[in-house]
Structure 1
Amino acid sequence: MTSLPTPRGASVLRAAALGGVAGLMLGGLGLLGLGVKAVFVPADCTGLSAQECQLNRETDRDLGRLQTLSGGALVALGAALFALTRPRPPSEPPSEPHDPSA
């Protein structure tokens, strides 16, 4: 038989989940920022030949796309974990029907 966690155990689990959510969100936002920068801001080609510059810019653009996608996935995962672990108000017991004739 499984038993419910104690209130202290539940709060520790919730705190650990909150730390995980914060890590996923911060990491995802960081990757999103780096990816957007790599996609929209061209690399500096000072001292490079035309072919080297083209290769550098194409590589930055492709890696930026991957970072943007991965960052978005991490943010979505963090949001889903937050939605699953947020505190819920206690459910109220169903009220008994009122009999007016009594």
Structure 2
Amino acid sequence: MGQTDRGKRRAKDRDDMSKFYGFRKCTYCEIECTPGNFVDHQSERFCSACWVQHENPQHPDLEAIREKVKTAANTWKFTKKSIDEYKLPNGPHPVKN
């Protein structure tokens, strides 16, 4: 007996599964967007700083917002790849009766 169609689809779907690489980049400044720091508008992605600049170019804290977005992107990038919180267990422990 061979594999059923269902088994073939499962193997194919598992190999073709998309990977999560991040939240794309801002259309204008190319900073990687982080959770909560982007706006999608008319099929374009804006980071918070570019959105504020687009909607209100005379905003008094524009540079502070831009610096905050850059810092958040760097922090998120390194936090995502840190394994300090996600260590593997030390192995199976014997069960005592």
Q: Which has the higher helix share?
A: 1
TM-score of the aligned structures, taking structure 1 as reference length: 0.34
RCO higher in 1 or 2 (8 Å CA, sep ≥ 6)? 1
